[in-house]
Amino acid sequence: MIRGLANKKLDTAKKYLLEAGSVYIGCHILPDGDAVGSLLGLGRALRSLGKACTLACADPIPFKFDFLPGVQDIVANPPTAEEVIVTVDSSDVERLGALYDEAIFHSRPVINIDHHVTNTAFGTVNLVQFLPSTAEIVYALIKRLGALLDKDTAAALLTGLVTDTRCFRTGNVTTKQLRTAIAFMKAGASLAEITELVFNRKPVSTICLWGQSLANAQTRGRIIWTEISRDMMRKCGATPNDGNGLVSHLASTLGVDVAIVFRETDDGRVDASMRAGPGWDISGVAFKLGGGGHPKAAGCTIAGDMHTVRDLVLSEIEAVLQDQKAACHDQ
């Protein structure tokens, strides 16, 4: 349904990018495969058109994406003199972390490329479409620009598509995503290599963290959750990225509707990552608590201690599940 991404918006983004000599592209904190893949894919495509590109992320890139060409060139600084700013896979400016500088962002065109239903439309141009991945929207823009889809660009975008659909297993996958994947594979991207490196290889620190977290998993009604403390992180020598994928694993538990992973951050807040089963929508809870995401995958970061934040989020989730259950009965 990229047609719904009004052609006018794509043309406006194209105009800004083709007229610019330099472009800054940033993705969200705690980057996942869609953020990294969209960042690298768009950057490589623009460079093929002769543009000088700065690729940025406020947080370190997870080691499992090291196989993607260009990862080593990603920096952590905000924009400087670049003529156009592009953000990928970020539902709001808070998700950009230290990359966001209000004065700089307000001084030049900002192209916001994203697929989250809670996107706040903060860009000069908002290429926002509720697709399974941001990589698909980047692909549409690349085609509009007439840029080359070479092997490395295709591999980056396929990584984004594969990771955000959990290997095409999410409920929003249609034949369109499969056709897009085929296009990337025809360009030289290896689906087998990407899935092996992204999903089947974990460092000892991840195994340690997951082991402790799963041992402490608890349930309340049809909600399952676990907690990751700073002490657990230190003992395992883990980074925040080591927790990626844990909440999806919890969500596979039989008899639950929502899974949550609570993680203490170094700045005295608690990150809550949430996943919902078929028929449930948790995006509203995340948005209400200052976060965002999708109906089935959302999150937020809240100031406070673990106990307080956990009880708040659990109460909000329980209320939403009850309301949605009642609404279903009324239909």
Residue of 70, 51, 49 whose CA lies nearest to 61? 70
**Do 140 and 218 share a domain, yes or no?**
no
**In the chain, what is the greatest distance between 2 CA atoms, to the nearest angstrom?**
58
Same domain (yes/no): 212, 185: no
Is there a single domain that holds both residue 124 and residue 90? yes
> Is the domain of 119 the same as that of 213?
no
Domain membership of residue 56 as a residue range: 2-199
Question: What single-letter amino acid sits at 149?
Answer: L
Question: How many structural domains are present in the chain?
Answer: 2
Regarding whether 254 and 175 lie in a shared domain, the answer is no
Nearest-angstrom CA–CA distance, 109 and 208 = 44
Radius of gyration in angstroms for the set of CA atoms belonging to the chain, rounded to a whole number = 19
Q: One digit per residue, pLDDT tens: the chain, 331 residues?
A: 455 557 899 999 999 999 999 999 999 999 999 999 999 999 999 999 999 999 999 999 999 999 999 999 999 999 999 999 999 999 999 999 999 999 999 999 999 999 999 999 999 999 999 999 999 999 999 999 999 999 999 999 999 999 999 999 888 999 999 999 999 999 999 999 999 999 988 899 999 999 999 999 999 999 999 999 999 999 999 999 899 899 999 999 999 999 999 999 998 999 999 999 989 999 999 999 999 888 999 999 999 999 999 999 999 999 999 999 888 766 6
